[in-house]
A and B are shown apart, each in its own frame.
Chain A
Amino acid sequence: MIYISCPEIVLQEVRIVAKITVNKKTYETDADPSTPVLWIIRDEFGLTGTKFGCGIAQCGSCTIHIDGEPRRACITTLASVAGKEITTIEGISTASDHPLQKAWIENDVPQCGYCQSGQIMAAAGLLAKKKDPTDADIDAAMNGIICRCGTYNRIRAAIKQAAMQGGK
């Protein structure tokens, strides 16, 4: 929010409204443009699938796609996403039938589940680029996403399974 002073009128408040697109839907917000988009998505738009884990781009719990690329919502300001397309875990499929989601269920991947939105978003970013990822590809794409419950081996198996089923 900023204040503009005019000679006649003392102060007039002007709301800066940002329009952002999340999961193909347009949202408006007048939040401080320097707010990390993580909190906007979660607290203003009510899309709480994207999680907070560290706030400094260390854990990947907040991974979303911005124009199709996996990005960390905790260090991405609202100002920087104007006009861009954001996809969150809620947007990759409404019916939990994305090949990755199916493979996650098939392999019983989640334990506490807290990191899993970030894991799936990172994996989706990988499969969009590499249809048949090697172990090294998986390591490179997934190393940034911490799972404190230690579900890594099941994540790897699920990514391979989804890849086999042509998932992206």
Chain B
Amino acid sequence: MGTKIDRRLFLKASLTAGGALLVSVAVPGSSRAMSASLGHGTMADGGFQPNAFIKIAKDGKVTIVIGQSEMGQGVLTSLAMIVAEELEADWSKVSYESGPPDKAFINPLIGSQVTGGSTSVRAFFMPLRKAGATVREMLVSAAAQGWGVAPETCKAGNSMVTHAASGRSAGYGELLDAAAKITLSTEPKLKDPKEFKLIGKSVKRLDTPEKVNGTAEFGIDVNRPGMLFGSVQRAPVPRGTVKSVDDAPAKAVKGVVAVVNLGYGVGVVAQNYFAARKGRQALKIVWDEGSNATVSSEAILASYKDAAAKESGKAAKSVGNVATARSGAAKTVEAEYFAPFLAHATMEPMNCTADVRADGADVWCGTQSQLVVQGSVAKALGLAPEKVGVHTMLLGGGFGRRVGVDYVMDAVMLSKAAGKPVKVVWTREDDTQNDFFRPATFNKLSAGLGADGKPVFWHHKIVNGSIMGELAPAVFGFPFPADQMDDSSYEGAHNLPYSIPNFQVDWIRKDTGIPLGFWRSVGSSHTAFSVECFLDELAAAAGKDPLEYRLSLLDPKSRFAGVLKLAAEKAGWSTKPAAGVGRGIAVAESFGSYVAQVAEVSVGKDGSVKVNRVVCAVDCGQTVNPDTIEAQMEGGIIYGLTAALYGEITVKNGRIQQGNFNNYKMLRMGETPKIEVHILPSSEPHGGVGEPGTPPIAPAVVNAIFAATGKRIRSLPIRAADITG
């Protein structure tokens, strides 16, 4: 299973991805599937595919093949723009398609075909520019040869090659036969960025038309000939198993075709979805609830508090000497912060359609990790990976949830049992209760201030479970020893930008049995809250303005200072807010991008919080599609604000207490603040944009509540009682 290669890929990922999202390709056999790469050949319809990313039809239409998954972040458009820019393709005629699992689509920042860690543009900017440029050069050479002129005297543009001196021109479609004979250069000449026509300009998304007329195809929309429908009853407690099942009442339901004991649950296959659900309701299952049967949120919090008080954990970062500095501090501030488990709640519940045959299988689903799906399905069925087709559909949201393969396996096992294609659709309750949750995190913070009010030491203890400890063995297929450090538990806390001479961040790993996963912005989703609120506490203790205090601890030329100043200026930080309104600020770096947000909040006498306005400044380096950056900031803010105001998954007797949107609430139209996004012009390398909008909003709002009321919220979600109490 190519362990060596896989291990190396994983190590590479851990070094390059900034600890954001460490995913290995170590799925049995997947490296074999990857050895055959797409590209360079004539297509059945006479078109030409010079490499994995580009198809040109005889009529000159260009199709860009995207190996990354579209989950709302606009990657189909952004990546197509990059290719089209260098290819000099006529943008009005460019379309896209989703690529299969393929070596060419391996995300170089992660080491597998994974969409996550806000990496798509960062990972593929140069590879896609090269892919476009080589094909442009090939087409130019083909035309030049035909005309008997030097390629340098020809120019490509608008899907045409022209030779100005002789007034000749040829469309890309006409050049395919000649181009097919030309060897692709591996070091093409890239365009001067000053000549970019698409990159850096706001371009309308290519996938919008199909998303407004009902034709966009998500995983849940897949239909196969002879397809049956499935629904799976999972254990009421995470990781519980089936002890016994009486399936007679389910089988008696009209339309039910098969009942399958999957071990982790029982699946019902029926001629229609309603019958599958009815059959599932009729199942009589006795569960072995396993060791999680006694887990509860209260006990987890109590044990985390206890651990923070008694254990020292392992240093994620240690500078200077916190113990010595503590004894010399003029003033010490201490606080405890808590952030709960959270579910992803993608709008489209988990689902998959599988067609398992004796000699192979196909799966259709929204996935963030095609090769993991392919490898896992192949392993489960005892097939060679290349016998497993993975068809990536649009994702009705990903947010990190769809890196898993649990929902894929449902369909695969039911299709195998039924001998027909089966579509499994989770209920909303299935989806909420069987998630891989954002880790609940307890923080114990202390800091000392010097006579000037600046921090002389900072000590942060973080207690939570390890996401990699969960996903590495279960999903990605490699061990993650108990003593290994997991950045995703404390990223954003151990790399604080503020100048603090004595600085220590300790991680105390406490797994709880509750499954954990990557949740939009991962560790930063909670560390930005604890550190940016605690810093606000220090500013208050020092009697300083929160913005001035931050800036006094930052290099004025730093990108942190840049976004803070821009957000503050646009928000009118120096002016007094309207009566009854509080203003709060926070900043965070995640996935290579720097985001500051100012929130304006009104607080009612009953403790109700209304966020009126959010001003967001982002420095994500060079841009590809600025409107998409704005959209991702807007979406990231709503996602984080939903969590700050409502988000909480709790556990009792091992059971997840929330199930649907009635008790796991989402922000709605009427609660949405005005959002203004300002992009800081930058020539730095690209940063991510899918996640970095999320971290600063919770602390900005909490800091604004403090400004409005003098009440400090230290536990999320924000509760009226914590403000009035």
Which positions in A face B, CB cutoff 8 Å?
1, 31-32, 34-36, 39, 42-44, 46-56, 58-59, 61, 88-90, 93, 96, 100-101, 104-105, 108-117, 120, 138-140, 142-156
Stretch among B18-26, B146-154, B269-277, B405-413 lining the A interface: B269-277
Known A112-B70, A138-B669, A150-B642; 8 more pairs at CB < 8 Å: A31-B272, A53-B349, A104-B212, A110-B72, A112-B395, A142-B670, A149-B347, A153-B634
CB-based contact B631/A111 at 8 Å: yes
CB-based contact A150/B209 at 8 Å: no
How many residue pairs, one in A and one in B, have C-beta atoms under 8 Å apart?
A: 188
- Residues on the A chain within 8 Å of B662, using CB: 56, 58
* Interface: B675 (CB within 8 A): yes
Can you list 7 A-B contacts (CB < 8 A)? A36-B274, A51-B347, A59-B347, A108-B205, A114-B218, A143-B669, A148-B346
What is the bound-complex CA distance between A47 and B274, given in angstroms?
A: 17
Residue of A nearest to B211 (CB): A113
Expressed in whole angstroms, the minimum distance between the Cβ of B111 and any Cβ of chain A is: 26
Q: Which of B274, B638, B661 contacts A58 (CB 8 A)?
A: B661
What is the bound-complex CA distance between A138 and B670, given in angstroms?
A: 8
Q: Which of B207, B214, B661 contacts A47 (CB 8 A)?
A: B214
Q: Which of A39, A50, A146, A155 contacts B661 (CB 8 A)?
A: A146
What is the bound-complex CA distance between A148 and B694, given in angstroms?
A: 13
Expressed in whole angstroms, the minimum distance between the Cβ of B431 and any Cβ of chain A is: 10
Given A105-B204, A109-B208, do A143 and B670 touch, yes or no (CB 8 Å)? Answer: yes
* Interface: B668 (CB within 8 A): yes
Given A39-B272, A51-B348, A54-B660, do A108 and B631 touch, yes or no (CB 8 Å)? Answer: yes
* Interface: B450 (CB within 8 A): no
CB-based contact A108/B208 at 8 Å: yes
Residue of B nearest to A112 (CB): B72
- Residues on the B chain within 8 Å of A88, using CB: 214
CB-based contact A155/B272 at 8 Å: no
- Residues on the B chain within 8 Å of A109, using CB: 208, 212
What is the bound-complex CA distance between A90 and B213, given in angstroms?
A: 6
Q: Which of B229, B275, B428, B670 contacts A55 (CB 8 A)?
A: B428
- Residues on the A chain within 8 Å of B674, using CB: 153
CB-based contact B209/A105 at 8 Å: yes
- Residues on the B chain within 8 Å of A93, using CB: 213
- Residues on the B chain within 8 Å of A89, using CB: 212-214
CB-based contact B254/A152 at 8 Å: no
CB-based contact A35/B347 at 8 Å: no
- Residues on the A chain within 8 Å of B274, using CB: 31-32, 34-36, 39
- Residues on the A chain within 8 Å of B272, using CB: 31, 35, 39, 43-44
What is the bound-complex CA distance between A110 and B211, given in angstroms?
A: 7
Beta-carbon contacts under 8 Å, B497-550 to A: none
* Interface: B158 (CB within 8 A): no
Contact with A along B338-360 (1 / 0, CB 8 A): 00000001111100000000000
Chain B contact residues, majority secondary structure: loop
CB-based contact B212/A101 at 8 Å: yes
Given A36-B274, A88-B214, A139-B669, do A112 and B394 touch, yes or no (CB 8 Å)? Answer: yes
- Residues on the B chain within 8 Å of A115, using CB: 347
Expressed in whole angstroms, the minimum distance between the Cβ of A46 and any Cβ of chain B is: 7
CB-based contact B672/A153 at 8 Å: yes
Expressed in whole angstroms, the minimum distance between the Cβ of B661 and any Cβ of chain A is: 4
- Residues on the B chain within 8 Å of A104, using CB: 208, 212
CB-based contact A139/B670 at 8 Å: yes
Nearest 8 CB-CB pairs, A to B?
Answer: A49-B214, A150-B638, A114-B396, A113-B211, A112-B72, A111-B72, A89-B214, A48-B221
- Residues on the A chain within 8 Å of B255, using CB: 32
What is the bound-complex CA distance between A54 and B425, given in angstroms?
A: 12
What is the bound-complex CA distance between A50 and B223, given in angstroms?
A: 15
Expressed in whole angstroms, the minimum distance between the Cβ of A14 and any Cβ of chain B is: 14
Given A104-B212, A143-B670, A146-B661, do A52 and B204 touch, yes or no (CB 8 Å)? Answer: no
Expressed in whole angstroms, the minimum distance between the Cβ of A50 and any Cβ of chain B is: 7
Expressed in whole angstroms, the minimum distance between the Cβ of B238 and any Cβ of chain A is: 22
What is the bound-complex CA distance between A59 and B216, given in angstroms?
A: 19
Which positions in B face A, CB cutoff 8 Å?
70-74, 204-205, 207-218, 220-221, 223, 229, 254-255, 272-275, 345-349, 394-398, 425, 427-428, 627, 631-632, 634-639, 642, 660-662, 666-670, 672, 674-675
What is the bound-complex CA distance between A143 and B272, given in angstroms?
A: 31
Residue of A nearest to B209 (CB): A96
CB-based contact B72/A149 at 8 Å: yes
CB-based contact A111/B348 at 8 Å: no
CB-based contact A154/B631 at 8 Å: yes
CB-based contact B208/A152 at 8 Å: no
CB-based contact A142/B669 at 8 Å: yes
What is the bound-complex CA distance between A32 and B274, given in angstroms?
A: 9
What is the bound-complex CA distance between A31 and B72, given in angstroms?
A: 35
Residue of B nearest to A120 (CB): B212
What is the bound-complex CA distance between A1 and B396, given in angstroms?
A: 35
- Residues on the A chain within 8 Å of B220, using CB: 48, 51-52
What is the bound-complex CA distance between A109 and B346, given in angstroms?
A: 17
CB-based contact A110/B214 at 8 Å: no
What is the bound-complex CA distance between A13 and B595, given in angstroms?
A: 66
CB-based contact B207/A110 at 8 Å: yes
Expressed in whole angstroms, the minimum distance between the Cβ of A159 and any Cβ of chain B is: 10
Expressed in whole angstroms, the minimum distance between the Cβ of B696 and any Cβ of chain A is: 15
Residue of B nearest to A155 (CB): B669
CB-based contact B212/A110 at 8 Å: yes
CB-based contact B349/A150 at 8 Å: no
What is the bound-complex CA distance between A149 and B345, given in angstroms?
A: 10
- Residues on the A chain within 8 Å of B217, using CB: 48
Expressed in whole angstroms, the minimum distance between the Cβ of B364 and any Cβ of chain A is: 13
Residue of B nearest to A90 (CB): B214
- Residues on the B chain within 8 Å of A53, using CB: 347-349, 428, 661
Residue of B nearest to A122 (CB): B669
Residue of B nearest to A48 (CB): B221
- Residues on the B chain within 8 Å of A54, using CB: 428, 660-661
What is the bound-complex CA distance between A33 and B395, given in angstroms?
A: 31
What is the bound-complex CA distance between A72 and B205, given in angstroms?
A: 29
CB-based contact A111/B666 at 8 Å: no
What is the bound-complex CA distance between A149 and B632, given in angstroms?
A: 9
CB-based contact A108/B347 at 8 Å: no
CB-based contact A151/B635 at 8 Å: yes
CB-based contact B634/A113 at 8 Å: no
- Residues on the A chain within 8 Å of B637, using CB: 150
- Residues on the B chain within 8 Å of A50, using CB: 214
- Residues on the A chain within 8 Å of B627, using CB: 108
Q: Which of B204, B207, B667 contacts A113 (CB 8 A)?
A: B207
- Residues on the B chain within 8 Å of A138, using CB: 669
What is the bound-complex CA distance between A148 and B636, given in angstroms?
A: 10
- Residues on the B chain within 8 Å of A42, using CB: 221
CB-based contact A111/B74 at 8 Å: yes
Expressed in whole angstroms, the minimum distance between the Cβ of B395 and any Cβ of chain A is: 6
- Residues on the A chain within 8 Å of B273, using CB: 39, 43
CB-based contact B214/A117 at 8 Å: yes
- Residues on the B chain within 8 Å of A39, using CB: 272-274
Q: Which of B212, B349, B398 contacts A96 (CB 8 A)?
A: B212
Expressed in whole angstroms, the minimum distance between the Cβ of A28 and any Cβ of chain B is: 15
CB-based contact A150/B667 at 8 Å: yes
Q: Which of B211, B275, B425, B634 contacts A32 (CB 8 A)?
A: B275
CB-based contact A143/B396 at 8 Å: no
Residue of B nearest to A142 (CB): B669
CB-based contact B214/A48 at 8 Å: yes
What is the bound-complex CA distance between A142 and B631, given in angstroms?
A: 19
Given A96-B209, A110-B208, A115-B347, do A148 and B666 touch, yes or no (CB 8 Å)? Answer: yes
What is the bound-complex CA distance between A138 and B272, given in angstroms?
A: 37
CB-based contact A52/B631 at 8 Å: no
Expressed in whole angstroms, the minimum distance between the Cβ of B58 and any Cβ of chain A is: 27
CB-based contact A148/B212 at 8 Å: no
- Residues on the B chain within 8 Å of A156, using CB: 669
Given A48-B214, A50-B214, A152-B638, do A112 and B347 touch, yes or no (CB 8 Å)? Answer: yes
Most buried by B among A55, A88, A144, A152: A152
- Residues on the A chain within 8 Å of B631, using CB: 108, 111, 151, 154
